[in-house]
Amino acid sequence: MGYKKVCLGCKIAFNRDIDLGSEQTYPCPECGKSMSLLSHRFRAPKKNDIKAWKTVKFLIENGFPFQHIYKIEDGKLTNEYADFPNSMKEAKEFIEIYKEQAYKK
Ligand SMILES: [Zn+2]
């Protein structure tokens, strides 16, 4: 399973070629700040899609760095993976529904 290196400030994302462990840090080639590591499931929004990037940041800050989240239907956990939301409104609902599966800080 791969990771993506993402700089939320510069709104850029790269694939990380080798899996060296998540404790590794990667400076952003543009601003030099340490990049966030997100699951390979992450799809970077277009650079000028400010709202989508805000949503991404919000999800990460709330313990959802695009890991596998099991879909909940009718209050029950399923074997399917939930899709990550694209809008802030959906993201707020998402973190509420899936808070049990959030990474704790
Ligand atoms: Zn950067």
- 75-86: pLDDT as tens digits: 999 999 999 999
- Residue 77 CA, ligand 1 centroid: distance in Å: 37
Measure 36 CA to ligand 1 centroid, in angstroms: 10
Residues by chain with Cβ below 5 Å of ion ligand 1: 7, 9-10, 28, 30-31
- The answer to whether the CB of 6 falls within 8 A of the CB of 38 is yes
Q: Which residue has the tokens 């850029």?
A: 12
pLDDT classification of 27: cutoffs 50, 70, 90 = very high
53 phi/psi in degrees, rounded to 5: -70, -35
Rounded to two decimals, what is the model's pTM? Answer: 0.86
Q: How far apart are CA 36 and CA 54, in angstroms?
A: 14
Stretch 14-43: mean pLDDT, rounded? 83
Alpha helices in 9-101 (DSSP H): 50-61, 88-97
Higher pLDDT, 18 or 95: 95
34 Cα: distance to centroid of ligand 1 (angstroms): 8
State in Å: Cα 15 to ligand 1 middle: 15
- Per residue in 9-26, pLDDT tens? 999 999 876 666 656 788
pLDDT band at 3 (very low <50, low <70, confident <90, very high): confident
Cα 71 to the center of its chain, rounded Å: 16
- What residues have CB less than 8 Å from 79, skipping those under 6 apart? 70
- H or E stretch including 13? strand 12-15
